[in-house]
Structures are given as C-alpha cells and as structure tokens.
Structure 1
Amino acid sequence: MTEPAEVLDCRGQRCPLPVINLARRLPELPVGAVVRVLADDPAAAVDIPAWCRMRGQEFVAAHPHQGPAYDVRRAG
C-alpha cells in the first residue's frame, strides 16, 4: 500500500466540500502523488470515486475504518 503524500482532513464537512477540497489540492501535487481524504460524510464514499472517474484521476482505495478515508492518486 502506498503511503499518502498528503492527508486532507475533511471530517465534519458535508457534500460537496470534501470533493471541492480534493479538486483544489490535487493539481498542486506531483503526478503519481497520493492524497488521503478523511471524510465522514456518507456521500463521500460515492462522490470521491465518481469525481475520480469524471476527472481521469485514479481512485486507489477506501479505508472505511480509518476516518473513513479515501486514497486518490494524481494521474495527470
């Protein structure tokens, strides 16, 4: 498992804020970097993978017992 280059703590934020924060931060990181998004809004489990598909980014993994947390790798 790849350790994240950065952790975005979006706990307590409601949809769509976790995705907005991810969208703002990811372009600032190098290609291949992994961001872990901590998001306790149940919608994040659907929204973050969907955003990755729409934006051509790689959804790496969900960690339901760690925040919950979602790992996204910058594809380009």
Structure 2
Amino acid sequence: MEHPIEMDYNAMKLLVINEILKISKVDQINNIEVKKGILPLLQIQKKAINKKLHPYELLKKNGYIKNLI
C-alpha cells in the first residue's frame, strides 16, 4: 500500500482494520474447507470405535485407503 505520511491516524486505522478483516475471512474460508475434508474421516473413526473395529478397516471399506495390489 502506498499512502502519504501525512495520512490521518483514524483513516490509517480504518485501512488496517479492513485488511485484517480480509485476512480473517480468507482464514475462515480455508478452515471451513479443511474441516469439510476431515469431518467424514472423523465420522468413520467414531463408527469404527462404536462397532469395536479398527478405523483402518472402515477407511479401507469406504475407499479412503487403496489396495496395494
């Protein structure tokens, strides 16, 4: 950002706050995308624990783990 040195203090604070809000929104969007990817895995883990199975078995059954052969 290029702004004059004589810029009003309140105007400068407003610019900084707007930039922080932009960064915060991007971080929130990224966190939501990460949570969407993790949530199904956590649900599978809970199902496995409830059924007294190893989570690996259900992850493999649901296509999250491929066969090596």
TM-score by length of 1: 0.26
Bigger relative contact order (CA 8 A; separation at least 6)? 1
Q: Hey, which of these two has a bigger chunk of strand by percent?
A: 1
Which structure has the larger Rg? 2
Q: Hey, which of these two has a bigger chunk of helix by percent?
A: 2
